[in-house]
Amino acid sequence: MTFTADASDLTARRPSIDGCVPRHVAIIMDGNGRWAKARGLPRTEGHRRGAEVIRRIVRRSIETGVEILTLFSFSSENWSRPATEVSYLLGLLRRFVRTDLANLHENGVRVRVIGERDGLASDIRALLEEAERLTCDNTALTLVVAFNYGSRQELVDAARKLAEDVAAGRLDSREIDSDAIAERLYTRDIPDPDLIIRTSGEQRLSNFLLWQAAYSEFYFEPALWPDYDKDAFDRALASYAKRDRRFGRVSSQAAT
């Protein structure tokens, strides 16, 4: 499944959304394995079907005016899964770059990858770099792929960079604040997510964007990821639009 319309056509057919559309939506795509097990299928089939859903949600994000879509595709803890499953997931990534990247590029999607790259196979690193390089000037949507990503490791890496900068005299320890930490995260040039969606009914972050989620809104979707569709995505956006985001301040409604 590929996109069939260019970015200008998608904008022209953008549906009306009541309320505010989140600028940045992040999704924990959960439930592939359970979906396959419930149907007597191998876990790899769940991952294959889940990859098809990604294409539909990327398209829907452009249609609804979401600017940034972050997908938790492969965590640093996923390496502990069975070797056959890990191999299949890496194969999906390779196929994504080789078959979907050109189409994403044609539709104005910019690809960013966050996560630890040291230790990855050279061909995987080359594919990730190719995706970022080819699409770096696109503006219809930024697709952030969290690959080999773990938020605690991200914070450890940021702390290490701060320590190195202080030791080298590039930074005074008294200047360390939340901005200094944020500038050393993998997401340093990406705004924090406004809305985080998790599918499958689970209600936890699972080491995903722990720092960045400080003021995010959450939406927990009962559907397993392979069953997720644009209607479920729209429900999450509609729920977000009704919320009063205060960021620690008094609600404007309460103030009046």
**110-121: per-residue pLDDT in tens?**
999 999 988 888
Residues contacting 125, CB < 8 A, separation 6+: 117
Mean pLDDT, residues 206-229 taken together: 98
Mean pLDDT, residues 80-87 taken together: 81
User: Does the pLDDT of residue 222 top 60, yes or no?
Assistant: yes
- In the chain, what are the domain boundaries? 20-148+187-242
CA-to-CA distance for 200 and 184, rounded, in angstroms?
32
**8 versus 171: which is more confidently predicted?**
171
Confidence of residue 12 (pLDDT cuts 50, 70, 90): very low
Q: Which of 6, 9, 30, 148 is catalytic?
A: 30
Q: Which of 78, 165, 227, 234 is catalytic?
A: 78
Q: What are phi and psi of 41, to 5 degrees?
A: -110, 160
Tell me if 116 is assigned to a ligand binding site: no
Tell me if 76 is assigned to a ligand binding site: yes
Mean pLDDT of the chain: 89
- The predicted model scores a pTM of 0.88
Tell me if 225 is assigned to a ligand binding site: no
Contact criterion met (CB below 8 Å) for 166 and 134: no
User: Does the pLDDT of residue 253 top 60, yes or no?
Assistant: no
**4 versus 97: which is more confidently predicted?**
97
Active site residue 30: yes
Assign residue 209 a region (left: φ > 0; alpha: ψ between -120 and 50; beta: otherwise): left
Tell me if 188 is assigned to a ligand binding site: no
- Domain 20-148+187-242 maps to which CATH number in 3.40.1180.10, 3.30.465.10, 3.40.190.10, 3.40.50.800? 3.40.1180.10
User: Does the pLDDT of residue 225 top 60, yes or no?
Assistant: yes
The number of C-alpha atoms within 13 Å of 169 and in the hemisphere containing its C-beta is: 0
Active site residue 18: no
Report H helices in the chain.
7-12, 32-38, 43-64, 83-95, 101-106, 122-135, 151-167, 178-182, 230-241, 252-255
